[in-house]
Amino acid sequence: MDQLTNIFKVLSDQTRLRAVVLLYKEELCVCELEGVLDLSQPKISKSLSKLRDLNLVQDERKEKFVFYTLKKDNEILNRIIQGILENLEEYPQLQEDIKRLGEKEKFLNKCNPLSIL
């Protein structure tokens, strides 16, 4: 029951929900999330830290960047995100976020090399 409660607590924060949806779609580094979500680096880092604490994301170093992915082994979280994506027309902010994923590369130059949360 704690796992379920923690998932809903995590998703109750708009920044974390937006990040989880994007990370469900593809791996991203902090600066890409910062640019796509148009939020500050500390806010993104704090959200990723919470997701990592609950073992919902993993990070991997690639060259000079640290990329984050959503762990796909949590069936409950996967079903929730799939439900959101199936009804994306109900969530204009998430639609905009996903649209901006196409511009993610232009945000890579904002990253501090190997910045770890």
Where do the domains of the chain lie, and which CATH numbers do they carry? 2-105 (1.10.10.10)
Q: CA neighbours within 13 Å on the CB side: how many for 101?
A: 16
The span from the CA of 89 to the CA of 3, in Å, is 28
Supply the pLDDT for residue 116.
42
DSSP state of 87: T
53 Cα distance to chain centroid: 14
Task: Find where tokens 């511009």 sit.
Answer: 103
pTM flag (> 0.75): yes
Q: Rounded to an integer, what distance in angstroms lies between the CA atom of residue 73 and that of residue 76?
A: 9
What is the side-by-side strand order in the sheet with 65-70?
A: 28-29, 65-70, 57-62
The pLDDT value recorded for residue 20 is: 97
User: Parallel, antiparallel, or unpaired for β 57-62 and 65-70?
Assistant: antiparallel
> Which residues in the chain show pLDDT less than 70?
112-117
Task: Give the per-residue pLDDT at 113.
Answer: 52
Where do the DSSP E strands lie in 18-112? 28-29, 57-62, 65-70
